[in-house]
Structure 1
Amino acid sequence: MVGEAVLESVFGDDREVITRYVDILASRGIDRGLLGPREANRLWDRHILNSVAVAPLVSKGASVADIGSGAGLPGIPLAIVRPDVSVVLVESLLRRSVFLTEVVAELGLDDRVRVVRARAEDLEGSFEVVTARAVAPLSRLVGWTKHLFLPGGELLALKGSSVADEVAEAQSSLLASGLVADVRPVRAAANLEETFVVRVQSVSRETQPVR
């Protein structure tokens, strides 16, 4: 369990909602195979706080597509801490999309979160931000999602400590698509473990100020 001080500083009045979500993940999420049994004791650090660390990079009022949402990460925690954004949870597997629909309803997020059962490459629409966490290598992920955030949006992909190598491997495919990537180290709170977000956008947007 995360400390009360962190809960207060990160989630504030949304502490009850995020705690209910964690309880659902620790029970039905594991029972239905969306998370492994060993994840129960590290849901806060490894999944929830890791997911909300991306929130400061999402512009105010943005439309967000969370690709390969799985158990709802990072899309549901993001929607909880950022009620100003609208989130589409994109998941291709039926059992996962059913779970997500149930969770969104139970947490009372229907006003700003909806679930779409689809593969990223088949999804239609345009979004200001596309998020993804532990979905695919960067070059493949960009290929699946660039039609969703170009020309004016961006991809925010949560990655692990080998992020620099992954970005380097994707450079040729990024350049061929007129894209540029930079790595942002982020934390949900100052004293928490650092995670990394790869921000991908069109080259023409590279010189715009950081939001």
Structure 2
Amino acid sequence: MTDQAGLEPAAPPPPAEAADVFGPQLELAARYAELLATTGISHGLVGPREAPRLWERHLVNCAVMESLLPEGETIIDIGSGAGLPGLVLAIVRPDLTLHLVEPLLRRTTWLENAIATLGLPNVSVHRGRAEETELTAPVVTARAVASLDKLVRWSFPLLSPGGRLLALKGESASRELDEAAPLLDGLGVEIAHLHVVGEGRVSDPVRVVEIVRPETLREPARSPSPTSRRGRKTRSKSARRSRGSV
């Protein structure tokens, strides 16, 4: 794929495992990779050093978690950043409905432009912090956003009873799950799993922590996100709240 000026693409070609994971959506995924490698870098959403490893480290890494999602699911992706994993899931699974929640204006602007460029009808962007978002869905996803205990506190108010937090984690997944045990016990969580997805399909299988929100929480689950200002009582006029049930 080349751009209109006939230049070589900035993104590397998709590896064989990407073709297996994305299937008929591979061309669309390649267009997204090119956006990440160009405007994604220039807008500061992706580091320049990530360009050579976009597929293995980011796109394929996020796409394999689709195996944990039933057909037609609605998902809230918090701290979406460059759309990882939210946009990737929308690409690999057109049957899904994605709501991307991101507090920074430059990121939400980039996401909206990317969605329009890729022609994705199943994605919407909501500017705001997770704890300000008044959406509800059966699934909340997150990747490289915060520690697991914080993700639980931010995501549980967004989940319908019995809903699932799916957090992509690295090698620290098991340790974080152990460290979050007191919080999970206090909230009445009975189901928490560590999944390893993509085995036999990708060179580096992915760890996904699944935590199921109980029907009734034993204590409030909200806490300030990292971008919240300590002691702040008012919000800027430019900040928008995300409203509605999905």
TM > 0.5 between the two? yes
Partners of 2:21 and 2:64 within 8 A in 1:
no
Amino acid at match of 2:131: E
SS in 1 for 2:82: coil
1:150 to partner: Cα distance: 3.6
What number of residue pairs does the alignment pair up?
Answer: 203
Partners of 2:159 and 2:213 within 8 A in 1:
no
Partners of 1:50 and 1:188 within 8 A in 2:
no
Distance 1:91 1:191 in 2: 29
Pick which of 25-34 and 9-18 moved more: 9-18
Distance 1:118 1:51 in 2: 22
1:145-156 residue pairs with structure 2 within 5 A? 145-156=155-166
Q: Which has the higher helix share?
A: 1
Amino acid at match of 2:111: L
Distance 1:154 1:36 in 2: 30
- The answer to whether residue 94 in structure 2 is matched with residue 86 in structure 1 is no
1:53 to partner: Cα distance: 1.4
Structure 2 counterpart of 1:120 = 130
Please provide the CA RMSD for this pair: 1.5
Give percent identity, aligned residues only: 46
Extract unaligned runs of 5+ from structure 1: 205-211
Amino acid at match of 1:135: V
- The answer to whether residue 49 in structure 2 is matched with residue 35 in structure 1 is no
Structure 1 counterpart of 2:153 = 143
Structure 2 counterpart of 1:130 = 140
Distance 2:86 2:202 in 1: 23
Q: 1:63 aligns with which of 62, 74, 78?
A: 74
- The answer to whether residue 201 in structure 2 is matched with residue 190 in structure 1 is yes
Distance 2:128 2:111 in 1: 13
1:202 to partner: Cα distance: 3.1
Structure 2 counterpart of 1:208 = none
Partners of 2:21 and 2:201 within 8 A in 1:
no
Distance 2:36 2:110 in 1: 10
Regions of 4+ moved over 4 Å: none
Extract unaligned runs of 5+ from structure 2: 1-11, 216-246
SS in 2 for 1:152: strand
Distance 1:155 1:52 in 2: 16
Structure 1 counterpart of 2:183 = 173
Amino acid at match of 2:65: V
- The answer to whether residue 13 in structure 2 is matched with residue 16 in structure 1 is no
Distance 2:36 2:160 in 1: 33
Q: Which has the larger radius of gyration?
A: 2
Partners of 1:10 and 1:189 within 8 A in 2:
no
| CA separation of 1:3 and 1:123: change in aligned 2, threshold 3 A | closer
- The answer to whether residue 174 in structure 2 is matched with residue 157 in structure 1 is no
Distance 1:84 1:192 in 2: 26
**TM-score normalised by the chain length of structure 1:** 0.92
Partners of 2:58 and 2:84 within 8 A in 1:
yes
1:136 to partner: Cα distance: 0.3
**TM-score normalised by the chain length of structure 2:** 0.79
1:188 to partner: Cα distance: 7.5
1:89 to partner: Cα distance: 0.6
| CA separation of 1:61 and 1:188: change in aligned 2, threshold 3 A | farther
Distance 1:188 1:3 in 2: 19
SS in 1 for 2:137: coil
| CA separation of 1:12 and 1:20: change in aligned 2, threshold 3 A | same
